[in-house]
Chain A
Amino acid sequence: MSEHNEQTVREEVRTWLAANWKPDQPLITWRTLLAESGWGMPTWPAQWYGKGYSMALGNAVLEEIQTAGAVGAAQAGVRMLAAATLLEHGSDAHKAKFLKSILTGEHNWCQLFSEPGSGSDLAGLTTRAELKDGKWVINGQKVWTTSAHHAQYGMLLARTDWDVPKHQGISYFILHMDQPGVEVRPLRQMNGHASFNEVFFTDAIVLPEFLVGERNGGWKIALTTLAHERRGADGVRSFARAEAGQGQVFDELREELAHVNEPYKWYPQRAGRVDLILERAKASGRITDPVIRQEIAELLIMARSSEWTARRARKAQVMGRPQGPEGSLGKLAASNVAKKAAHVHTLLAGADAMLKGSDGLMNGLISEILISVPAISIAGGTDEIQRNIISERVLGMPKEPRTDVDRPFRDVPRNPGKR
């Protein structure tokens, strides 16, 4: 990408924004314009709401949109995982039907992957899809489904063949959530929030055209979704924030985000809130304790070097360099930082670490950190799975011998069903 090219593109975006961006219009109208122009997702293919730009050039476009104070394409929730997966594996019909409403924010998505009996071993899932009278009939249960209660569509993994090894009998579907066979129940977590759901399928229906890729070819498509999920878990990316702008677009945006971001409101606490450490250290008076000072320093070193490592990884990605080890470490690094931060917050809180709610420090925020951090080592791939990934893909170490991949799934020992 030449300097000249980037300049030209920046000018082109500015001109387009000057002609089209105004805060007083319906959010959907603006985002439709943005999607159809391709400026909202500049790295997407030109025929599908993008410009086909490199990441570096795409970042320049997004910078211009930000500088102009304009609202970008809808990004909140798991919609981008769905979009990335459909872009790579969906049919043209899928892309035509679903991508635009993802970008405008009209439709929310959820990820129907994990099950009570298959967490780390996702390919051991037992939700079944059977073809009856030309339609897929779904029975089974999913769990840890964020936003299932306000999603219109779900990315669904279900077993379509029990007589082949586990990875070879899974299909990837797009499931319409609003139907009688789908029941969504909130799942209360140890921190008291209920941001996830259990989803029960009783003869739920998927039309045949909503199979993504080949029948029994769902596993490799799932890997695409998971890769995008892990990439977003390096602890640096922030969640969509409501902008402070004035006008109809912003009013509707704030409303949308209040809704879509609701399940994520405790996520910053899950990550340990390192940003509060210095403030808490000064306020607590424990800053004179040399032992606690050492712990704070260890935490800050870990947090800052994790952030720099994530930036190295992103820079390599932008420059098109082959990914080094730094690219696969973010999730485990973020988990280590969060655990250490919870430890330091406890040291700084002293006896007050026993209190919560309005009796607790910072109106309960510190206690929410302490009881939310355990999630980060589990969600989106446990620390143990991350260590497997790092050792196998980064260091080239062999997989453990397995007993579940060389036989029909039907014969693999598994957890007793919940129902």
Chain B
Amino acid sequence: MEFSFSDEQQVFRDMVRRFLEETSPTKEVRRLMDTEIGYDPAVWQRLSNELGLPGLHIPERFGGQGFGAVELGIVAEEMGRALLCAPFFSSAVLGTFAALNAASEAQREELLPDLAAGKKRITLAVAERSGSWQAADITTAARSAPSGSVLNGEKWFVIDGASADQLIVAAVDEHGIGLYLVDAAADGLNRIPLDTLDPTRKQARVVFSNVSAQRLGGASDATAALDRTVDQATIVLASEMVGGADHLVRSAVDYAQMRMQFGRVVGSFQAIKHKCADLVLEVELAKSAAYYAAEALAEDDPDVPALASLAKAAASAACLRAATDCIQIHGGIGFTWENDTHLYFKRAKASEMMLGDPVYHRERMLKNVGGLA
């Protein structure tokens, strides 16, 4: 493990940060969160054409840039800091990793170049009514049909499910679990936007009634590919959350330095200073966990499942605490719609529960370390 970023990675981070400062100020976030698709296609195109971000971690032979999990973590952290509204997590992370993990070489050649170029957006549908991302909880069923397969069932919490061009759907089939590629415009597919607490990242319910689908990869159980995908996405989500948390610490401290009460700035009271000190400690620890997990993923460390859960549990706690403390330090203004903190709070709350809540991840981490199954 390196425990540091290279100079090149720092330059890359600065570049991404500048781009997002320009394209995703909270004024834009507020505009986009009120739209149906929840993102700006023009910004998505720039993000794809100018920075190549959707293809960052796609191998060069499929039109990507061939970078690894550490660079992806940097991008996610900066997107979390800027609260970017874009289908990056759904398409570039969940959908793309699922395709990379499960698809055959021919399918990858078909799918990935358009994803790398940002021309198409894909998402991954796993969770159902219970919200679980575990293979064992899947009931959506696939059966073979003369031309490919047919899906029946209902998926919930599908991120950007209403706006994606394609979906990869986890379903039960004769091999165990299969990952199926579905066109969003297919007959029998019904997408209903969910009314979500976090308006900055859209989710949908997707109903499948005899929807024709193409199975990714060969005729074998895809549970391992699905689990791998969820681990990868969990680490990226943890990176995104620590970026948001870092922003919230700065926001809280800046406000405390400005707000006068009792003839002094409130940031001079130990009650506030110590709250900020405890907060920055928890956030820095969560950052270390996210960085470590991303490096482990880049090095294909066998502990990735445990480290993904560790990073997610740490990031969830830190980011939510940062949001809660930031509201508290702002006082009354922190509870208003006008103040931006609630946008970060809502993203933190939704991300806390997405891909498994902290209780689930703590238990999962423990099962994967020290033989405590």
Q: Which residues on A are within 8 Å of B, measured CB to CB?
A: 278, 281-282, 287, 290, 293-294, 296-298, 300-302, 304-306, 308-309, 311-312, 314-316, 319, 321, 325-326, 329, 332-333, 336, 384, 386-388, 390-392, 394-401
Contact = CB atoms under 8 A, between A and B. Distances in A.
Contacts of B310: 300-301, 304-305
A398 B268 contact: yes
B3 A311 contact: yes
B248 interface: no
A296 B367 CA distance: 11
B277 interface: yes
Given A316-B4, A400-B268, A297 B366 contact: yes
Contacts of A308: 3, 285, 288-289, 291-292
Contact of A329 (B267, B280, B359): B280
A368 B346 CA distance: 44
A311 B278 CA distance: 19
Given A278-B372, A305-B288, A384-B274, A395 B280 contact: yes
Interface in B275-295: 276-278, 280-281, 284-289, 291-292
B353 interface: no
Given A297-B362, A300-B366, A397-B253, A312 B273 contact: no
Given A315-B3, A333-B281, A397 B363 contact: no
Nearest to B289: A305
A312 B268 contact: no
18 contacts: A278-B372, A282-B372, A293-B363, A297-B365, A300-B310, A301-B289, A301-B310, A305-B288, A308-B291, A308-B292, A309-B285, A312-B291, A319-B4, A326-B284, A332-B281, A396-B257, A398-B267, A401-B264
B369 to A, nearest CB: 7
Contacts of B272: 397
Nearest to A398: B268
Most chain B C-beta atoms within 10 Å of own C-beta, residue among A278, A325, A399:
A325
B288 A309 contact: yes
Given A297-B366, A387-B270, 18 more contacts: A281-B372, A294-B359, A297-B313, A300-B366, A305-B285, A305-B288, A306-B285, A308-B3, A321-B4, A329-B280, A329-B281, A336-B281, A387-B277, A388-B273, A394-B277, A396-B257, A398-B268, A401-B264
A304 B281 contact: no
B288 A400 contact: no
A312 B370 CA distance: 25
Contact of A325 (B264, B278, B284, B370): B284
A282 B2 CA distance: 33
B285 A390 contact: no
Nearest to B369: A300
B314 interface: yes
Interface of B: 1-4, 249, 253, 256-257, 264-265, 267-270, 272-274, 276-278, 280-281, 284-289, 291-292, 310, 313-314, 359, 362-363, 365-366, 369-372
A302 B2 CA distance: 20
B289 A396 contact: no
B246 to A, nearest CB: 10
Contacts of B253: 395-397
Contacts of A312: 3-4, 288, 291
Nearest to B264: A401
Given A308-B291, A311-B3, A315-B2, A298 B284 contact: no
Contacts of B371: 282
A319 B10 CA distance: 14
Most chain B C-beta atoms within 10 Å of own C-beta, residue among A301, A326, A388:
A301
Given A278-B372, A401-B264, A388 B270 contact: yes
A321 B359 CA distance: 37
Given A301-B310, A301-B313, A305-B289, A395 B277 contact: yes
A391 B288 contact: no
Nearest to B268: A398
Given A293-B366, A394-B280, A400 B289 contact: no
Contact of B4 (A298, A315, A398): A315
B363 A305 contact: no
Contacts of B264: 398, 401
For the complex of A and B, list the 5 residue pairs with the smallest distance between their C-beta atoms, beginning with the closest: A297-B362, A391-B273, A387-B277, A308-B288, A390-B277
Contact of A390 (B256, B280, B363): B280
A321 B281 CA distance: 20
A302 B285 contact: yes
Given A387-B277, A391-B273, A290 B363 contact: yes
A397 B257 contact: yes
A399 B268 contact: yes
Contacts of A333: 281, 285
A376 to B, nearest CB: 15
A300 B365 contact: yes
A253 to B, nearest CB: 31
Contacts of A316: 4
Contacts of A401: 264, 268
Contacts of B359: 294
Nearest to A295: B362
Nearest to B290: A305
Most chain B C-beta atoms within 10 Å of own C-beta, residue among A293, A394, A397:
A397
B162 to A, nearest CB: 35
Nearest to A386: B277
B257 to A, nearest CB: 7
A386 B292 CA distance: 26
Contacts of B292: 305, 308
Contact of B277 (A304, A314, A332, A399): A332
Contacts of A297: 313, 362-363, 365-366
Given A301-B310, A401-B264, A391 B366 contact: no
Most chain A C-beta atoms within 10 Å of own C-beta, residue among B272, B292, B359:
B292
Given A308-B289, A395-B280, A400 B366 contact: no
Nearest to A332: B281
Contacts of B257: 396-398
